A = this chain, B = another copy of it.
Amino acid sequence: MNKKVLTGETITISIKDLKIGNHHPPIFIAGPCSVESKEQILETALRLKAIGIHILRGGVFKPRTSPYDFQGLEIEGLKYLKEAGDAANIPIITELMDEKNMDIVLEYADIIQIGSRNMYNYPLLKALGTIKKPVLLKRGMSASIREWNMAAEYIAAYGNKNIILCERGIRTFETYTRNTLDLAAVPIMKKETGLPVIVDPSHGTGIRELIAPMSKAALACGANGLMIEVHPNPEKALSDGHQSLNIEEYKKLFDEIN
């Protein structure tokens, strides 16, 4: 077996002035599941920045189970997201599903998100190994801890150690929650890889009321940050509204934690 690149030694990620890792306070990523319009993302960005978040999220390429569901605003949405990030003076993160769009996403986004469905997409992981920007690698929905570790190793082995891991729940027999948030994976992956590990309680539970308690639990067991879906009007969201907080709810959670 070759020597692993991710040895467990602490790796700190820098995005402009922001630092993410064991020697730094937890970071807060928030924003809507999907960028839906210029106005929606701009309003969200400005209000979330005022609350104190560090990074703005917003999906523009959306991996949806059905081909007939909303697939995202794509490049147009990416530009709206960038404008909103600039207006709020805050870095942005968005999901990349496809190597064909890697250059344009790299041009606009500060962090490249790899979603749960692409954790096993090894050609894409190899491509991400050739860039320098940070990659947020979500755990596959039924990926074992070892497979997730090896997926990060793919990126690192090809040259890029700027990786943030994100636990987002695993698929189990339980149907009350959308996924089963596996918080034990947080201390395990921190120790095994040395990378920062953040938690997404929105996908991890799929239930608005569980986001606050699971956010606190995540930080208590050592998570280096939280990624939470926030929408100015969850009832009208084009995707994942039932698991999104509105901005007031998010502010309350943010203030309780900080």
The residue in chain B whose Cβ has the minimal distance to the Cβ of A180 is B182
Q: How many copies does the complex hold?
A: 4
Contact with A221, one of B141, B177, B180, B217 (Cβ below 8 angstroms): B217
Whether, in the assembled complex, A130 has its beta carbon less than 8 Å from a beta carbon of chain B, the answer is no
Q: Give chain B residues whose Cβ lies under 8 Å from the Cβ of A153.
A: 66-67
* Inter-chain contact B182/A150, CB cutoff 8 Å: no
A64 to B54, CA, bound (A): 36
Contact count band on A:
35 or more
Q: A62 to chain B: closest CB distance in Å? A: 9
Which stretch, A30-38, A39-47, A92-100, A235-243, touches the partner chain B? A92-100
**20 A-B pairs whose Cβ atoms sit less than 8 Å apart in the complex:** A1-B66, A1-B68, A64-B122, A67-B153, A97-B123, A99-B100, A100-B123, A117-B120, A118-B121, A145-B176, A170-B172, A170-B174, A180-B180, A180-B184, A181-B184, A186-B213, A191-B209, A216-B220, A217-B217, A217-B221
